[in-house]
Amino acid sequence: MPSVHVIGSGVSGLACAYYLQKVGCDVTLSTASSGCDENCCSWWAGGMLAPFCEQESAEPLIGTLGKESMAFWRQLASVTKLDYCANGSLVVAPARDQALKRSFERLTRNHQRLDHAQLIALEPDLDHFQQGLFYPDEAHIQPRLATKVLWHELGRMNVILNTEHYLDEASLVNARNEYDWQIDCRGLAAQSELDDLRGVKGEMLHIYSDEVRLSRPVRLLHPRYPLYIVPRPEQQFMVGATMIEANTSRNATVRSVLELLSAAYVVHPAFAEAEIVEIGVDIRPAFNDNLPKIRRYGNQLYVNGLYRHGYLAAPALARRVSDIITNDYFCTEVVDANYP
């Protein structure tokens, strides 16, 4: 079986290494980070697996990749300590913004309309919303735990793991000659070679409140500050996320934090007393159409452009990468036709 060098330990690199080792390739993974840490976009994600809600703004391909990836995470959770929460997700809007809810409902599928009684039967703390939309087939995971679990599995499967191994331009070329295949999963760092890759800044917070109980992700539709809240263990909540066209990952702005927290307060007034545990920022790698791509240049594949769908798309992309390498099978839906 071929030797494969995977670069990057974000969700895309980890998923590729996992699939390739599973099908018998001889995999080495090199990463600039210590393995799983805050130095990658994947660390800051919400971990929402929401292929149906995403239809509001995404192409159908995201739904296809998403459903396949969800099966992967569910299976991984059944044999590891990954927590796969398959209790759906909710969408709510303040009374004056019901037009937004109707529009969201029209654009998405696989939902149920909830009246007040049905809504509070699912989430009693959303008592002040009169209606909602329920997406029963959606799920969420803890992204940091997911990357740690994958990292641990790679070690167990004898993947060679090179940590704190930053590859500059020359070493990228040299490494490419050492292996049968090289899979570049550097996220936004590959921008110098993928010149149509752009950055979309995302800011998020972790807050702690022992007064709010939520058991599934909640999206708030709002004309200025749409947001989602994902419950985490021990009464923490991930509040996210801004979407700003920007290539740098400087700190979060006051405006963004104010807006995110104002919207959280709309979801539940008790969030006013929540403690801010962490404020995070990273840049999502995205192509112009906001769809992920696999590009091939000789024996090198780039897996990139995961945008806001890293956890939703990475396992499905990784499976396609392993098909390309082991069966020479090119799945045209994600392989960019402009790049032979």
- Work out whether 185 is an interface residue with ligand FAD (CB under 6 A): yes
Give CA separation, 29 vs 117, 157, 312, in Å.
Answer: 51, 12, 22
Instruction: Please name the residue that has the structure tokens 């018998």.
Output: 24
Find the binder of ligand FAD among 199, 231, 240, 315 (CB under 6 A). Answer: 240
Q: Restricting to residues 65-124, name those near ligand FAD by CB under 6 A.
A: none
| CA 187 – CA 191 distance, rounded (Å) | 8
Nearer residue to ligand FAD within complex by CB, 154 or 312: 312
Query: What minimum distance in Å lies between the beta carbon of 248 and ligand FAD?
Result: 13
Instruction: Give the CA radius of gyration of the chain.
Output: 20
Amino acid letter, residue 178:
E
Quick one: which segment of 17-25, 42-50, 70-78, 99-107 binds ligand FAD (CB under 6 A)?
42-50
- Work out whether 53 is an interface residue with ligand FAD (CB under 6 A): no
Nearer residue to ligand FAD within complex by CB, 123 or 203: 203
Provide the mask over 289-318, with x wherever binding to ligand FAD is found by CB under 6 A and - wherever it is not: -----------------xxxxxxx------
Please say whether the beta carbons of 98 and 131 come within 8 A. yes
Query: What minimum distance in Å lies between the beta carbon of 33 and ligand FAD?
Result: 4
Using CB atoms within 10 Å of the CB of residue 23, give its burial: 0 to 12 exposed, 13 to 18 middle, 19+ buried.
Answer: middle
Quick one: which segment of 36-44, 101-109, 151-159, 332-340 binds ligand FAD (CB under 6 A)?
36-44
Residue 265 CA, chain-centre distance (Å), reads: 24
Quick one: which segment of 30-38, 72-80, 101-109, 123-131 binds ligand FAD (CB under 6 A)?
30-38
- Work out whether 184 is an interface residue with ligand FAD (CB under 6 A): no
Segments of 46-144 assigned E as strands? 48-49, 89-92, 112-114, 132-135, 139-140
The bridge status of strand 89-92 relative to strand 218-220 is: parallel
Using CB atoms within 10 Å of the CB of residue 221, give its burial: 0 to 12 exposed, 13 to 18 middle, 19+ buried.
Answer: buried
- Work out whether 31 is an interface residue with ligand FAD (CB under 6 A): yes
Distance between the two ends of the chain, CA-based, in angstroms? 23
Half-sphere exposure of 82 (CA within 13 A, CB side): 28
Longest dimension (CA), the chain: 63
Nearer residue to ligand FAD within complex by CB, 39 or 130: 39
Find the binder of ligand FAD among 25, 48, 119, 194 (CB under 6 A). Answer: 48
Find the binder of ligand FAD among 138, 153, 259, 282 (CB under 6 A). Answer: 282
- Work out whether 39 is an interface residue with ligand FAD (CB under 6 A): yes
Q: Restricting to residues 113-172, name those near ligand FAD by CB under 6 A.
A: 166-167
Nearer residue to ligand FAD within complex by CB, 119 or 303: 303
Find the binder of ligand FAD among 82, 114, 189, 301 (CB under 6 A). Answer: 189
Please say whether the beta carbons of 131 and 119 come within 8 A. yes
Q: Tell me the three state secondary structure of residue 163.
A: coil
Chain residues that interact with ligand FAD, rule: CB under 6 A = 7-13, 30-33, 39-42, 44-48, 166-167, 185-187, 189, 202, 204, 240-241, 282, 284-285, 306-312
